[in-house]
């Protein structure tokens, strides 16, 4: 154990598959339109893995973490923990994080998958920070990666999922530092399992929400009550941001960047307007990537790092919500 130390984010990396699916592509296989998707969600395109050629969440996560290690100027052998936040693990066992750790060449680093749907990256940050504060872990890779295009139905009956989701991965490298000013300032993690039925992937006919008529095609596919999740998100986003600012003794003006799960442009704009924040502080990139679940937050962070908009000394609040239902934040001093 060492004395009090800070934690810094020293590298960011992302990965998307080669395959792009535009709204116009979707028009060809389901009853929808480019105009409807743009107006209702802000999405223009999404990326899709080639699952039939063996591409999986592991490939994306691996590319992202290798890029993040490069950015951090760190070798994989220096990592002592890998946390892979995903709801798209290749298999129930082994954890995808273990195969990933072996492939990038860690030296028996701890590795596990963390399942918290669209809150995966935020819950992963809070978990990783807590573990680092025990003094047992110095260099941690946190990856948010998902491939929901595998479990959405590309036809009119599954269109609310098909238009919304895309595949991607984003990784950060967290490192202990003697600068105690750097690290997590405040956080929140919540759930309401009574609302599980709003978003699920039924495996048997007994998993379907009450009142939903069983049809074979639904098994293993995403079921979402879009309107219910939408209303929940519009109310919850501002509440959890306010709660975190209260815990930190800060106001929205004290935070330099709000990096939120990219669920729907309208949900994000409602939260941005509620706090009267400028576009430069409350970021939206859903147009290019769609909703990439646990990857959406590091994709935004990577955009900001590439544009040199994020600087040491700034404060960043990460905000997520999603299946569970779950919602939470992680407020950092960079």
Residue 118 sits in the site that holds ligand ACO (CB under 6 A): yes
Binding segment toward ligand ACO, per CB under 6 A, in 51-59, 75-83, 91-99, 225-233 = 225-233
Q: Residue 118 or residue 143: which is nearer to ligand ACO going by CB?
A: 118
- The set of residues, in sequence order, having a beta carbon less than 8 Å from that of 38 and lying 6+ positions away, is 23, 44
Residue 264 sits in the site that holds ligand ACO (CB under 6 A): yes
Using only the alpha carbons of the chain, give its radius of gyration: 19
Give yes or no: 93 in active site. no
The distance of closest approach from Cβ of residue 34 to ligand ACO in the complex, given in angstroms and rounded to an integer, is: 10
Q: β-pairing, 257-260 with 199-200?
A: unpaired
Q: Residue 247 or residue 265: which is nearer to ligand ACO going by CB?
A: 265
The distance of closest approach from Cβ of residue 115 to ligand ACO in the complex, given in angstroms and rounded to an integer, is: 11
Tokens 């116009």, residue located: 24
- Pairwise CA distance, residues 283 & 219, whole Å: 35
- Pairwise CA distance, residues 260 & 283, whole Å: 7
- Pairwise CA distance, residues 248 & 101, whole Å: 35
- The set of residues, in sequence order, having a beta carbon less than 8 Å from that of 229 and lying 6+ positions away, is 198, 199, 325
Element containing residue 239 per DSSP (H, E): helix 226-248
Q: Are 166 and 48 in contact (CB under 8 A)?
A: yes
Residue 157 sits in the site that holds ligand ACO (CB under 6 A): no
Angle between helices 57-72 and 96-104 (to 10 degrees): 50
Residue 199 sits in the site that holds ligand ACO (CB under 6 A): yes
Closest residue to ligand ACO using C-beta atoms: 322
Element containing residue 95 per DSSP (H, E): none
Residue 38 sits in the site that holds ligand ACO (CB under 6 A): no
Residue 154 sits in the site that holds ligand ACO (CB under 6 A): no
Chosen residue from 14, 41, 85, 329 binding ligand ACO by CB under 6 A: 41
Chosen residue from 164, 174, 255, 268 binding ligand ACO by CB under 6 A: 164
Binding segment toward ligand ACO, per CB under 6 A, in 131-139, 155-163, 211-219, 251-259 = 155-163
Residue 200 sits in the site that holds ligand ACO (CB under 6 A): no
Element containing residue 64 per DSSP (H, E): helix 57-72
Q: Is 213 exposed, middle or buried (0-12, 13-18, 19+ CB in 10 A)?
A: exposed
Residue 160 sits in the site that holds ligand ACO (CB under 6 A): yes
Residues 44-73 that bind ligand ACO (CB under 6 A): none
What does the angle CA 60 – CA 65 – CA 68 come to, to the nearest 5 degrees? Answer: 130
Residue 236 sits in the site that holds ligand ACO (CB under 6 A): no
Select which of 98, 118, 119, 260 is catalytic. Answer: 118
Residue 233 sits in the site that holds ligand ACO (CB under 6 A): yes
Phi/psi at 213 (5° precision): -70, 135
String of DSSP letters for 122-143: HHHHHHHHHHHHTTS-SEEEEE
Residue 195 sits in the site that holds ligand ACO (CB under 6 A): no
Select which of 261, 264, 283, 302 is catalytic. Answer: 261
Tokens 């998993």, residue located: 207
Site string for ligand ACO, 14-33 (x = CB under 6 A): ------------------x-
Give yes or no: 261 in active site. yes
Chosen residue from 226, 234, 239, 309 binding ligand ACO by CB under 6 A: 226
Catalytic residues, by residue number, are 118, 261, 291
Q: Where does this chain bind ligand ACO (CB under 6 A)?
A: 32, 36, 40-41, 117-118, 159-160, 163-164, 199, 226-227, 229-230, 233, 263-264, 291, 293, 322-323
């Amino acid at each position: 154990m060492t004395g009090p130390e800070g934690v810094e984010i020293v590298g960011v990396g992302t990965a998307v598959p080669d395959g792009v699916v535009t709204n116009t592509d979707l028009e060809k296989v389901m009853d929808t339109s480019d105009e409807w998707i743009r107006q209702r969600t802000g999405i223009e395109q999404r990326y899709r893995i080639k699952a039939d050629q063996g591409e999986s969440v592991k490939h994306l996560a691996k590319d992202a973490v290798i890029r993040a290690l490069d950015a951090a100027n760190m070798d994989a052998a220096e990592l002592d923990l890998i946390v892979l936040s995903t709801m798209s693990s290749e298999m129930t066992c082994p954890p995808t994080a273990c195969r990933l750790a072996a492939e990038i060449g860690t030296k028996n680093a701890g590795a596990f998958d963390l399942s918290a749907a669209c809150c995966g990256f935020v819950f992963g940050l809070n978990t990783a920070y807590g573990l680092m504060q025990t003094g047992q872990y110095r260099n941690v890779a946190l990856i948010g990666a998902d491939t929901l295009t595998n479990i959405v139905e590309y036809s009119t009956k599954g269109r609310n999922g098909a238009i919304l989701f895309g595949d991607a991965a984003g990784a950060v490298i967290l490192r202990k530092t003697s600068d105690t000013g750097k690290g997590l300032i405040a956080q929140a993690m919540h759930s309401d399992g009574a609302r599980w039925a709003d978003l699920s992937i039924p495996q048997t006919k007994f998993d379907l929400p009450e009142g939903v008529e069983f049809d074979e095609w639904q098994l293993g596919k995403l079921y979402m009550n879009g309107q219910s999740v939408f209303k929940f998100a519009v109310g919850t986003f501002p509440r959890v941001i306010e709660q975190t600012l209260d815990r930190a003794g800060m106001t929205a003006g004290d935070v330099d960047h709000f990096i939120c799960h990219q669920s729907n442009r309208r949900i994000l704009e409602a939260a941005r307007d509620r706090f009267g924040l400028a576009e430069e502080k409350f970021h939206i990139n859903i147009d290019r990537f769609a909703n990439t679940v646990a990857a959406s937050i590091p994709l935004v962070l990577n955009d900001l790092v590439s544009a040199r908009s994020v600087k040491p000394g700034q404060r960043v609040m990460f905000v997520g919500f999603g299946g569970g239902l779950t919602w939470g934040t992680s407020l950092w001093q960079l």
